[in-house]
Structure formats: structure tokens, C-alpha cells
Chains A and B, each alone.
Chain A
Amino acid sequence: MAPVRLVIDGHPIEGEPGTSLLQAWVAAGLPLTENVGCMGQGVCGACRVLVRRPGERLAQTGLACETLVEDGMQVAFINLSRRSRPHPYDLHALGDSWDAIGRIDELFPEAKRCRHCGGCDSACPKGIEVQQMVHLAAVGQTYAAAELFDDCVQCNLCVAACPEHIDPAHLGQLVRRMTASMTLRPSDLIMRLHEIEAGEQPIDLDAPGALPPSSSIENEPVQGTGDQR
């Protein structure tokens, strides 16, 4: 297949069809030291881009590791610092769950002023209903709000898109973290912690199972020692 021609950050480059924007960038010999992380799994949210295709008036946001090269594309990396935090809070100082839900408005007062422009929804590369989450969080429906943000990769494109400075990505994390830390109390974990504290889970470093078998271990493979990651 013939290579496609596109422009990334002002550099005219040729890309192999089927490759991602990120792969085309390095294949063109350009230095890659930022806007990159997992390199293709689409989970780190570091390689944000703005993409305009020929014939389209508006540009779309996306991730450079998941967007494939197309002829005539105009691409710009979006550099977003994730470090400026206009909505600071201490999760461990929010009080109990009676207080905490009421404090969402105090910490993120802009959330209730959402003007429903939909900018966050169209900016999200994961198709999350960001605006709906903002609404649910603002009215205290924390668990429902948290669930909507299950797939968030913290790319912060919704933060950049919001004209009201709501900081949806961080509001989403607040409700997620609040929900987990205040309501998740698994009995099996709690019981085991009590046993450990009571000294009922000792470890014997020299138990028979902690010593290599006398026969050749290499010839007796254990069952499925693996990793499902």
C-alpha cells in the first residue's frame, strides 16, 4: 500500500497505512520524549491529539496511540499539564459520608453551573458521559457518578474543554475515591486483618512447602504459573 501523507505538529510526514499517529511520528525520525506512555494500550491518556481530517470543518480530540494515519490529516499534540490543581482537597479530612457528600459543592462549586455545552462529552476519547457525571455529582448521587467514570484514563481533555472550569476529570476522581474509601468494607479482608493483628497468621520460613523438592523441580512443572495482566 502506498504511504499516506499527513502533517503532525507542522512536520509533513509519510506514514504506513495501518500505523498509529505515534508510530508514524517516530518512523519519520522525529524525537519522542513527551506525550507518550503506554504506547498503544490506550490506558495512560498521555498522547492527546487534535485531529482534523480533509473536508471537515472541526477538529476532533483523540489518543495518538489509537488513532491511525489517514491521508490529509492535520494533527497537533495537546500538551496538558496535569499538575495544576485549582480544586485541592484532603480525602481523609472530608469527615464521614454524611458530611462528605455535602462538601462536593464546596470543593467543586462550578459543577452546579454546568451550561450543558457538551464540550466535555465530545472531547472524551473514551466516550464517557462526562456531563451526566458532573450533574450526578452536583446533586450528590456520588455512586452513580463514580460508575460513569470507570473508563476514565485521566487525559484531562474534558478539563481543557470546559468553559466553566469545572475540572470534570478531577471531580470524577473525587467521587470515585470518596465512594471507595467510605463505603467499601469487605468482611473477608477485615477478618484477615484482625487475624494478622492477633498474630494468628504466622509465616514459617522453613515449612516443607517453602523448601525446594529434592527431585528435579524443573521436570515437574507447577500448574499454570502465570499472570493475567
Chain B
Amino acid sequence: MSAGIAYDQARTAWRRAAPANARALDLPVTELLTGFHPDRKRGTRSKLMIGPNAGQKAPIALARLLQSDSLLQDVDIAGAPTLEADVLVIGGGGAGCIAALTAARAGARVLVATKLGLGDSNTVMAEGGIQAAVGADDSLQRHFEDTLRAGHFSADKELVAALVSGGPSAIRWLIREGMSFDLAEGSQRMGGTLRRKTPGGATAARLLSFRDFTGLELMRAVREATLLQSSITILERHPALELLSDDRGRCAGAVLHDLARGQAVVARSAATVLTTGGSGRLHLAGFPTSNHYGATADGLVLAYRLGALLRDIDSFQYHPTGIAWPAPLEGQLISEAARSAGAFLVNGLGQRFVDELQPRDIVASAILREIAEGRAAVRDDKVGVFLDTPSLERARPGILGRDLVTLRHLAGRAGFDPAEEPFLVRPTLHYQNGGVQINVAGHTTVPGLLAAGEVTGGLHGNNRMMGNALLELVVFGRRAGASAAADARRDRPRNIGLTHLADWRRAMEGHRLPLDRKAPLLFPPYGNFDPVRDRRRGA
């Protein structure tokens, strides 16, 4: 990374030029992405040697985790306390709670195991909203095509069709669970219309929201419903270490780690739903992240070791405007609402360098190019470009106080007034576009194993549209929960154990992969936690 321009000098250049003139990208998009998008960077990916996706590429850090040995041996689960359920849900964010509720209401006895507390997840952090084609000027077909186009036509069409056609009924379901939505100005609660915003890349206004904390409002209602559902047992601080298998290769539950006691717990189930979320806390290619603390790709590791096919695992979303300075706030998200409202990106020379409303992968790459080529500003060793909020406030007085409440709050914590000073921003790791392959019913390629939410792949292709993440977790949380409850009535696993690990270890040895590399990670390295040592404490 080049040094860049000293902050004072860059600030003077910004101030002199503000508001800077529009300047289009002076590089073909293909060259920009190839040269600067983190997914495309040479030397950052490696080929998987074992498992169902052998031969395909994944980011090096993720490939290491996927090709790791289990944290468990057979002896670790001998005599461990055993729990039984019809449906085991691993992960307690939005998708997990919704899958659990749906399965429980279909008559299943449900166990929810979650690493942190119920609801502590990326869902609760989602600000923008949830897409559903409800407007008279909109249609399911438009939502379908917009989603495919945004993902560069690499998404699974059947999944996308299921996603968009489930949109309106997902909103009805959420309202029935007690979630509120903003109404159009002057609209009545009965017979009025919903407030609709236009998500980037959409051909109609389709984004429904609750203020600028839609995810929190969703999670509050759904968490409360889950806590109150009598046939759901919740195990907080119980991350999964390994999936269980039966003698036919079915998933048969999971081995959990009870963090309070440092003990393994065996959770046997007829159907298992993975809702473990994403992987921002892997900090791929050294990037900061906007993700919550538990996003460490655990679900991908568990599913892959049991033989589930993954897809698009080399595709990640880098949100263009993470905070670059000050250090304690690094990686935290400044909502895209700022750019939608008209805030410019300005480099250390006082110049704009890209149309700010281009797709995220393009804007993020353009910022990374300014940094790489030495045109970014440097403040206390932190490098970034300016997000020009003062010019926005001058052009649209009052907007920071009225519409960008969270942004103002962030500036306050950073210790400056966004109407006077611009933010220093750089891309932050935001979303895992790919994941475990599922079908429209939520089944993975392993019998007995289902998945929903960010852990899955196929819905977003190589680039996710805003508002489709919350929709996904509702639509597919419900589908996976219903399928799991139905599956549990049909078939139950037999001769349960860790039999799949023998083949896995043979494959690792065959490819000279080090058996001392263990996964899942559970917590980021700076969490100062070692699961193996923790289990000795409980033994």
C-alpha cells in the first residue's frame, strides 16, 4: 500500500474543491475489478484439495478452515450429556429464530443452539430494510430480474424466484409476529400504504423499512416470539463443534460445546438446520469488518466436513464506506443511505473518482484503487478517502439531523461534527455472497441437513442487492423450518456418531494437510479463546 497524502494537506485540498465536480471512472470496469477488487486479487485464493468442492478456489483463510481437522475425537463425546430433539437449529440470529418458530408450530420439538445470546447476530445490525415487491408499479418479475442482474446473472434462478415470490407473504408474517414498518407520509395504519425506498439497482421502489434500524425491529419481534414458544428449548453459549452423522451418511444432530462448563454436549436430532450466518470476522485479506463478533464461518466448516456442497465461496461483498479513522471505530458501517442522499467520495487531491451510485463492488474497487495508487488521505496511519458529508449538508440543509441519524451518532462517537468535517472511509468486509448450496425447500446436498440465511449460497450470485438479506432469512428460514419439521416426521437417523471423520482424516493425510489445524474457529483470534484448552477445563 502506498503512503498517500498527509491528512492536513488532503483536508485543505478537499475544502478548496468542495463541492468537488463529478468525475467518471477513468478505467474500464473490467480492468478496475480485476485490478482492485479483493475477490480478484492474485495470490489471495487457493484451490481446495479435499471435500465436495475440491478443485475450486476459496480465499486462503477460508480454504484453511475448510480443510481443517475436527476439534473432536470419539472419546470426547463418550459419556457426554445427550439431548434429543426433532429439529436442531444451529445459530440464533434471524434465520435461526424463524426456522425454529416455524418448525415448532408445525409440531416439532425444537432445540436452538447458539454461540452467543439469542438474537446476537448480523440480523440485528441491518439498517436499510427488506425488499418486497408490493407497489402497484412493481411486480415479482421485476424483483426477480433486478436481483439476477445485480448478481451478474450468476444466482440460482429457482431460488431467486422462490425468494421474490415469498416477499409479500414474508412481510405479512412479520407483521403478524408484531414487527412494525414505516408507512408512506400521511398514510393510515389501516388501508394506507407502506413507505417504499428504491434500493440500488432496482427498477421500482421496493425497500420496506423501520426507521434506520429495520434489523433490530425484526429481531426484537422474532426473538420475543421464539422465547415465548413453549416447544423450543434455547441453549445460549453452545456453539457447534461438529455435526453428527449416521451410518447412511445422514446428518444426525451436532456436538455442542457448553461454554459455561467447558463440556461437550451431544444434541441428537432427526433434522438439523444450519443458520450460523457469515464470516466477516475472518478479516479476509486483512480487511476490517462490519460484522458481529460471532461471524467466523463455523457453519461452512461443519457442513463441508460432512460432505455438503458449497457454492460461490470466493465471492464476498466489501461495503465501500466502512470507517477508516479513528482506529477504535475501524470497519463500522456508514450506511449507503449517505451516498444515496448525495454524499460524494473525494480523494486526497480533492477530486471525485467514481460515480458514487455504482454497484458496491465497483465503488469499493475504485476506493481501493485510490489507496493503492497513493491518492488517499492518511491520518494517524489510517488510510482512506473522504465521504463529503459537509457538502451534502450544505446542499440539503438539515438532512444529517433528519434522515441520517445513525451516521450522526457515529460521527459523535468519533468526536467530530459531520456537518463540518468529512468522514475518512475505506471498504469493509460486509457479506458472504456464497455458502452452502440449498434447494428451494432449504435442503443441502446432505440428507437431514438444511440451511437458511447468510450461510447459504445461490441467492445473490456474485453481488447481493440491498434488502435481499433480510428477505432471504425470513423466506428461507420459514421454508427450512417447515421442511425440517416434515423430514423429522418421516425418517430418523440410526447408529449415530462421528463416522464421517475417519474418511475426512484419511483424505487430509492423503493430501498432506496438517492434522493439527483445527476448526471451526468459534471466535476471532483476538477473542483469546482456545476450545481445546477450554474442554480440558471442563473434563
Contact = CB atoms under 8 A, between A and B. Distances in A.
Given A184-B175, A224-B340, A229-B126, A177 B169 contact: no
A188 B215 contact: no
Nearest to A19: B328
A210 B144 CA distance: 8
A29 B525 CA distance: 10
Interface stretch (B127-135, B247-255, B487-495): B127-135
A34 B199 contact: no
Interface in B326-347: 326-329, 332-333, 335-337, 339-340
Given A187-B192, A196-B168, A154 B223 contact: yes
Interface string A198-213: 0001111101011110
B156 to A, nearest CB: 11
Contacts of B363: 226
A221 to B, nearest CB: 5
A152 to B, nearest CB: 7
Contacts, number: 283
- Of A40, A180, A217, A225, chain B has the most CB atoms within 10 Å of the CB of A225
Contact of B124 (A33, A38, A216): A38
B148 interface: yes
B168 A33 contact: no
A215 to B, nearest CB: 12
Interface string B39-70: 00000000000000000000000000000000
Interface in B461-486: 463-467, 469
Contacts of A19: 327-328
B117 to A, nearest CB: 5
A191 B178 CA distance: 20
B120 interface: yes
Interface in A95-118: none
7 contacts: A31-B527, A37-B294, A41-B332, A176-B220, A210-B144, A225-B201, A227-B465
Interface of A: 18-20, 23, 26, 29-34, 36-44, 46, 66, 81-83, 85, 88-92, 146, 150, 152-154, 170, 173, 176-181, 183-189, 191-193, 196, 201-205, 207, 209-212, 216-229
Interface of B: 28-30, 33, 116-121, 124-129, 132-136, 139-141, 144-145, 148-150, 152-153, 157-158, 161, 164-165, 168-169, 171-172, 175-181, 183, 187, 189-194, 197, 199-201, 207, 211, 213-216, 220-221, 223-225, 227-228, 230, 234, 236-237, 259, 292-294, 317, 319, 326-329, 332-333, 335-337, 339-340, 357-360, 362-363, 409, 413, 430-431, 463-467, 469, 522-523, 526-529
Given A180-B175, A209-B141, 8 more contacts: A18-B326, A26-B528, A32-B523, A32-B527, A33-B237, A88-B230, A226-B339, A226-B465
